[in-house]
Amino acid sequence: MATDSTHRCDRIWTNARLATMTAAGTIENGMVAAKDGRIVHAGPVDARYDAAEIIDCEGRWITPGFIDCHTHLIHAGNRAHEFELRLAGASYADIARAGGGIVSTMTATRAASEEELVASALDRLDALVAEGLTTIEVKSGYGLSTEAELKMLRAARRLGAERDVRVTTTFLGAHALPPEFTDNADGYVDLICNEMIPAVATEGLADAVDAFCEGIGFTPGQVSRVFEAARVHGLPVKLHAEQLSNLHGAALAAGFDALSADHLEFLDDVGIEAMAKAGSVAVLLPGAFYFTRETKLPPIDALRAAGVPIALATDCNPGTSPLTSLLLVMNMAATLFRLTVDECLAGVTREAARALGLLGETGTLEAGKSCDLAIWDVERPAELVYRMGANPLHARVWKGL
Ligand code: DI6
Ligand code: FE
């Protein structure tokens, strides 16, 4: 019965257990109430909340909707043949000579239409959504020309119109050197700074700018130039840093107040200190670590000690992480990196939101945020991390629906 003290909502999920991912921790006998797409209450069952639609969760667990904060979801083709060659003993150089590697994905991506890029990415997106994903970051970086990079970003934006997900896009022109610029990396960086970033910014196609700082990618000096151009256009930055070697990319990124530095196997104490100071998130990518059979572990204990927030993501890409499961990412992070269950869950919710600059909008169960939920058929949250190849998702809610 509606009284003065009744809060009228649109929908209520009750008789649930909540992993709030806030200081409130987990709540037994909890409820989430939503109005106009936003959470108005996430806490103990409270009779003052009423709604037209009340969903009995029968004791199931509710977590925030999952967030994949680092993907290369838009690309054409795959590199299964390259994988076979590698299994047969071919080296990276052999594969590059045979036309493999990032450049083969670039060729396929340039040849694909925007529609084809959307269609192939939707297959991968649907796999992630089926496991409770509600927000995803998608990078460019396989076009490597102004036209093809813009095409990738437009395709990425369209994913958010095709599915009930929040899509953030990242311009990654500095991913690899296109063949037109062989032996002229600085010339390509000129193109990125003087043409690509202004075009991307003018069309509003990117929410952030990323680069691959590596011996086989771009030098710190080149990355600085890209970041300066991003700053001029008001775009936040993030960086593929310290994946294969230590070029001190994380510290460089932190100097530009980066949202995140990602990979980080070869990160050192100076980089950790700089990230802690800047508030940059460490995005760990255990799928790439696993698939490339890396043996150098990211410095987890030092990141913890310095209070650097840790997020997890798929790095979904055809070369080093053909992975479309955040549940498996959590299992790998626990098994390979020894992250705790709490750290794994935070890594694909709260900290992933932080890495995208979206913590005010999603990533925890808190009044005021978008009502993005994943409802799970599990007895305890640890099951989400422990099981491999199972999908206990019962229902997914995005913006209260
Ligand atoms: N780091 C990686 O591991 C991938 N990109 C990057 O910056 C590799 C992408 C690919 O091989 O297609
Ligand atoms: Fe990546």
* 121-131 tens-digit pLDDT: 999 999 999 99
Give the whole-angstrom CA distance, residue 28 versus residue 25. 10
**Mean pLDDT across 69-78:** 97
Ligand with an atom nearest the CA of residue 215: 1
pLDDT for 3: 54
- How high is the mean pLDDT of the chain? 97
| 156 vs 17: CA distance, rounded Å | 34
Ligand 1 nearest atom to the CA of residue 102, by list position = 12
Query: Residue 130, by phi and psi: left (phi above 0), alpha (psi -120 to 50) or beta?
Result: alpha
Distance (angstroms) between ligand 1 centre and the Cα of 317 equals 7
| Nearest CA among 343, 348, 351, 341 for reference residue 386 | 341
**Count of all residues that appear for the chain in the document:** 401
Q: Average pLDDT for residues 274-296, to the nearest whole number?
A: 97
Confidence label for 100 from pLDDT (cuts 50, 70 and 90): confident
Q: What is the share, in percent, of the chain residues with pLDDT greater than 70?
A: 99
Q: pLDDT higher for 137 or 2?
A: 137
- Work out the pLDDT band at 5, boundaries 50, 70, 90: confident
Kindly tell me the burial class for residue 56, based on how many C-beta atoms sit within 10 Å of its own C-beta (0-12, 13-18, 19 or more).
Answer: exposed
If you take atom 6 of ligand 1, which residue's CA is the nearest one? 212
**Could you tell me the pLDDT band of residue 285, with boundaries at 50, 70 and 90?**
very high
Using a 6 Å cutoff on CB, does residue 317 contact ligand 1? yes
C-alpha 112 to ligand 1 mean position (Å): 19
Mean pLDDT over 23-52 rounds to 97
Q: What is the mean pLDDT of residues 169-178?
A: 97
* Atom 4 in ligand 1: residue holding the nearest Cα: 320
Binned at pLDDT 50, 70 and 90, residue 91 comes out as confident
From ligand 2's centre to the CA of 264, what distance in Å? Answer: 11
Grade residue 99 by pLDDT with cuts at 50, 70 and 90. confident
Tell me the pLDDT band of 39, cut-offs 50, 70 and 90: very high
Q: Relative to the alpha carbon of 102, which ligand is closest?
A: 1
pLDDT digits (tens, 9 = 90+) for 189-236: 999 999 999 999 999 999 999 999 999 999 999 999 999 999 999 999
Q: How confident is the model at residue 98 (pLDDT cuts 50, 70, 90)?
A: confident
What letter does residue 168 receive in the DSSP assignment?
E
Asked if residue 236 has its Cβ within 6 Å of ligand 1, the reply is no
Ligand 1 centroid – CA 45 distance (Å) = 46
- Please indicate whether residue 288, judged by its CB atom, sits closer than 6 Å to ligand 1: yes
| Predicted pLDDT at 308 | 98
Q: Given ligand 1 and candidates 72, 82, 86, 284, which is best to mutate, with the most ligand atoms within 8 Å of its CB?
A: 72
Residue list, CB under 5 A from ion ligand 2:
315
Best CA proximity match to 157, nearest among 241, 92, 73, 221: 73
Q: Best mutation site among 86, 216, 317, 321 for ligand 1, i.e. most ligand atoms within 8 A of its Cβ?
A: 317
Q: Which of 172, 212, 218, 294 to mutate to test the pocket of ligand 1 (most atoms within 8 A of CB)?
A: 212
What's the number of CA atoms in the CB half-sphere (13 Å) around residue 318?
22
Q: For residue 363, give every residue at least 6 positions away whose Cβ sits within 8 Å of its Cβ, in sequence order, or none.
A: 21, 64, 67, 349, 350, 351, 352, 353, 354, 369
Above 70 in pLDDT, residue 1? Answer: no
Look up residue 47 and give its DSSP letter.
T
**pLDDT confidence of residue 97:** 78
Residue 252 has, within 13 A of its CA and on its CB side, a CA count of 26
Task: Say yes or no: CB of residue 400 within 6 Å of ligand 1.
Answer: no
Question: Is the CB of residue 212 below 6 angstroms from any atom belonging to ligand 1?
Answer: yes
Mean pLDDT across 352-373? 98
For residues 232-260, average pLDDT: 98
Question: Ligand 1 centre from 158 Cα, in Å?
Answer: 23
Confidence of residue 4 (pLDDT cuts 50, 70, 90): low
**Residue 54 token pair:** 């009340």
